[in-house]
Amino acid sequence: MSSRLSDFDQAASVQPNFISPTWRAYLALTKPRIIELLLVTTIPTMFLAAGGFPSWSLVCWTLLGGTLAAGGANVLNCYLDRDIDALMQRTAHRPSATGQISGKNTVIFGIILSIISVVVLALTVNFLSAGLAFVAIAFYVIGYTLLLKRRTSQNIVWGGAAGCMPVLIGWSAVTGSLSWAPVILFMIVFFWTPPHYWPLSLRYKEDYAAAGIPMLPVEQAPAVVAKQIIYYSWAMVGVTLLLIPVAQMNWLYSVSAVGLGALFLYEAYALQARVRKDLADLKPMKLFHWSITYLSLIFLVVGIDPFLN
């Protein structure tokens, strides 16, 4: 760890620290693209919970609170990972890694966003949603970033649970409670996370190896990674089908879950085929990009399905 911190100090020392942080730099710390994906799961979940259109004010307050919670957790993650981010090409540009924003200011910004998120949800939505947001922040920062990420190749499996929390927050915002339907939506995102993230870490495994992060593609051969991706893909598709009887989904979701699931499995097996052929370019990002489209479409039909009753 000390050697990596030394490398971070050297990297930060050559950065243009005379440039004062801008609002764009602070925005970058929140990882907006990740937040967008989280919100994609929240809104349809609220529609399903309401059986149609929930109150638009409720949707807006829930999205605001959820955005602030995710942003706050991401900012604190940037602070804790600033040493390894500076060593990886994919993340070296982050303001926390370059030194453009000081560690102190990063922590203050992250804590403020996190506190405001919980307060906003508690005052405008309900205490259950606020509590779930607090749990999501704590689990992502402490459970994933501090305890799991640098210690186990299963980091993204269990750490990804924090990214599943928006569906529980969205459901509880509408109903004030939880049931089996949001649990299944939670499990869809849970099983989706490894086959979504492992292709990315397969593409950047040299980065992770240089930073000392034991991602599965760093610890295991590509054949093992491809097999694990297929296992989790099947589990994900199975859970999407389980939602049909539990939430009494209509024909649109049922057909979409089968069709989209088949396409996801096709891409997963295609990656495994490229691994078995020992191709120089495994093209793992094909599955990574498709996984984003897949999740977006699945939750789109989740949101549309209630209006077919």
Asked if residue 59 has pLDDT above 60, the reply is yes
Name the burial class of residue 64, with classes exposed (0-12), middle (13-18) and buried (19+) by CB atoms within 10 angstroms of its CB.
Answer: middle
Q: Are 95 and 110 in contact (CB under 8 A)?
A: no
Asked if residue 213 has pLDDT above 90, the reply is yes
- What CA dihedral angle connects 257, 154, 107 and 63, to 10 degrees? 10
What confidence score (pLDDT) does residue 21 get?
64
Distance CA 294, CA 297 (A): 5
Q: Where are the domains of the chain?
A: 20-177, 179-309
295 confidence band (pLDDT: 50, 70, 90): very high
What confidence score (pLDDT) does residue 2 get?
39
What whole-number percentage of the chain has pLDDT above 90?
Answer: 83
- CATH T-level fold of 179-309: Four Helix Bundle (Hemerythrin (Met), subunit A) (1.20.120)
5 confidence band (pLDDT: 50, 70, 90): very low
34 confidence band (pLDDT: 50, 70, 90): confident
Residue-wise pLDDT tens digits, 272-291? 999 999 888 899 999 999 99
The CATH number of 20-177 is 1.10.357.140
| Mean pLDDT in residue range 278-305 | 94
